[in-house]
Amino acid sequence: MPASEKIYRYAFSILKDSETAADVVQECLMKIWDKRDKLPEIVSPDSWAMRITRNQCYDWVKMNRYTLISDKELNTLDSGNTDDAIHAKDHLRWLDEILKTLPEKHQEVFHLREVEDMTYQDIAEILGLSLGEVKISLHRTRAKIRLMLQKIEDYGIAN
Partner 1 sequence: MESRIKEIQEKYWAGETTIEEEKILKNYFSKNNSTDSEAGYFKHLKKASVLKPPVEFKHPGRKFLLPKWMMAAAIFVGIMGGAYLFQQSQKQNEFLVDDPQKAFEITRQALMSISSGMNKGTAYVDNLQKFEEATQLISK
Nearest distance from C-beta of residue 98 to partner 1, angstroms: 11
DSSP for the chain?
-HHHHHHHHHHHHHH--HHHHHHHHHHHHHHHHHTGGGGGG-S-HHHHHHHHHHHHHHHHHHHHT-----SHHHHTTS-SSSHHHHHHHHHHHHHHHHHHHS-HHHHHHHIIIIIT---HHHHHHHHT--HHHHHHHHHHHHHHHHHHHHHHHHHS---
Nearest distance from C-beta of residue 152 to partner 1, angstroms: 4
The answer to whether residue 84 forms part of the interface with partner 1 (CB under 8 A) is yes
What mask of x and - would describe binding to partner 1 in positions 102 to 141, judged by CB under 8 A?
-----------xxxxxxx---------------x--xx--
Nearest distance from C-beta of residue 100 to partner 1, angstroms: 16
The answer to whether residue 77 forms part of the interface with partner 1 (CB under 8 A) is yes
Nearer CB in complex with partner 1: 65/88 = 88
Binding site for partner 1 (CB under 8 A): 1, 4-5, 8-9, 12, 18-19, 21-22, 25-26, 29-30, 32-34, 36, 77-78, 83-84, 87-88, 90-92, 95, 113-119, 135, 138-139, 142-143, 145-146, 149, 152-153
